[in-house]
Amino acid sequence: MTPEELDIEFKDAVKRINGLEGPFPADFLLRLYAYYKKASDDYGRPSSSKPIINAFKTNALFQVKNVSQDEAKRIYIDLVNNYFLYRK
C-alpha cells in the first residue's frame, strides 16, 4: 500500500468512526485515541477536565511511543474495521 493509499484509508476510518453515535467501550476509545494521535503526529497533552481521564490517555500514548506513524495508521484502520465487523 502506498503512503497516499494509507492516508486515504486512515481518513476514511476516522470518518467512519466519527460518524457513529452511542457508547464505545473505554478500552477501545483509548486505543483509538492513542493510535490517532500517533498517526496524525499530534503530541498535544490530553485536555480533559478530569485528571483520571488525562492519566488514562497519557498511559495510552506512552504505550504506543515506539510505533511508527504509518504503523499507527494501519493499526487504527484495523481497529475500526474490526469494530464494524464485530459490533452488534
Q: What pTM was computed for the model?
A: 0.90
Domain 3-19+27-86, CATH? 1.20.80.10
Q: Distance (Å, rounded) from C-alpha 59 to C-alpha 2?
A: 31
pLDDT tens-digit series, residues 1-52: 899 999 999 999 999 999 998 788 999 999 999 999 999 988 777 877 888 8
* pLDDT, position 87: 73
Task: Supply the Cα-derived Rg of the chain in whole angstroms.
Answer: 13
Q: Where are the domains of the chain?
A: 3-19+27-86
Q: Residues near 57 by Cβ (< 8 Å), separated by ≥ 6?
A: 30, 33, 34, 46, 48
- Residue 54's pLDDT band, with cuts at 50, 70 and 90, is confident
- Residue 88's pLDDT band, with cuts at 50, 70 and 90, is low
